[in-house]
Amino acid sequence: MSQQSQFSDIIPDVDKFLEDHGLKDDVGRIMHENNVHLVNDDGEEEKYSNEANYTESIFPPDQPTNLGTEEYPGPFNFSVLISPNEQKSPWEYSEKLNKIFIGINVKFPVAFSVQNRPQNLPLYIRATPVFCQTQHFQDLVHRCVGHRHPQDQSNKGVAPHIFQHIIRCSNDSALYFGDKNTGARLNIVLPLAHPQVGEDVVKEFFQFVCKNSCPLGMNRRPIDVVFTLEDNKGEVFGRRLVGVRVCSCPKRDKDKEEKDMESAVPPRRKKRKLGNDERRVVPQGSSDNKIFALNIHIPGKKNYLQALKMCQDMLANEILKKQEQGGDDSADKNCYNEITVLLNGTAAFD
């Protein structure tokens, strides 16, 4: 007699009984953790709950329930550790600033530590990028148009809904939540494993796939990553913040920001009078959208591509500015598309 038949002799509809009594998720979790399968009347094994339902039932909500910016070690003394990089590598960590300076698409380790963790409480790490400045905190942090384009090398073999995220995690169990098109904040959630024998931290590898300087993305705005320790209901048991700058010269930028921080009072600049020409404000009119053809010759493919990229960045800034002011950006988008086709082979805007 099969296991399912044995259950059915006592309870006619096992699934309905478990669901009515609020036991379905608990039984599914226990059976999943212990790799238990039911056997049907034909002798074939069946999983009690499919992978999609299991993931949906045990993972925290897709949006952070308590996204604060205050450090909170919580009841388990949650901590996030990034070791200073002692080897020559494209990332640097500043203990003074609690900030990582790193190149794009570079993987780096983050160690998570909890103390007195209950054995029967599944815990999760949520990584949510936010803008540091108060006036931008409510804005969603997402990748720029160029980097989230399907033709970008970093998007090969990646699910389309991940293209928007500036952070990626090497953990195969990580889930990517949020959508900038619906106003849902982008974040990553992954299960927090137990440390290996002889260790007291769990290491996970992350990477950033867009730069702080990218127009139509972070657009030179500083960001933090908020790491929260949560259970499967989204209750926060700890919170830590790490500053991030994704750049081309991590060591140079780190040294500069540390030096700026040590300068308590910035030097005062002498005010100078504005001339009449400088006071004059040029009104924006239809001439702003006039299209000019640029026909020049540039020696060297590298120089040619750099010139196109400079024009692309300039237009991206114009598009962003006009979107913020509610202006007409159609002409800028058309020109941006022309340049993007020359660079990537396909347009950025539909």
Bind-site residues: 144, 147, 210, 214
The answer to whether the CB of 125 falls within 8 A of the CB of 227 is yes
Phi and psi angles of residue 90, each rounded to the nearest 5 degrees, phi first: -80, 40
Instruction: List Cβ<8 Å contacts ≥24 apart for 210-214.
Output: 210/104, 210/143, 210/144, 210/147, 210/148, 210/166, 210/246, 211/104, 211/246, 211/247, 211/248, 212/244, 212/245, 212/246, 212/247, 213/247, 214/143, 214/144, 214/146, 214/147
Q: How, if at all, do strands 99-102 and 236-246 pair?
A: parallel
Instruction: Please give the annotated binding residues for Zn(2+), written as ranges.
Output: 144, 147, 210, 214
Read off the amino acid at residue 223. Answer: I
d(CA 36, CA 32): 6
Residue showing tokens 């960001």 = 223
Q: What are the helix and strand counts (H, E) for the chain?
A: 8, 13
Q: Which of 328, 336, 314, 323 lies closest to 286, judged by CA? A: 328
Over the Cα atoms of the chain, what is R_g?
26
User: Kindly report the CA angle at 226 between 220 and 232, in degrees rounded to 5?
Assistant: 145
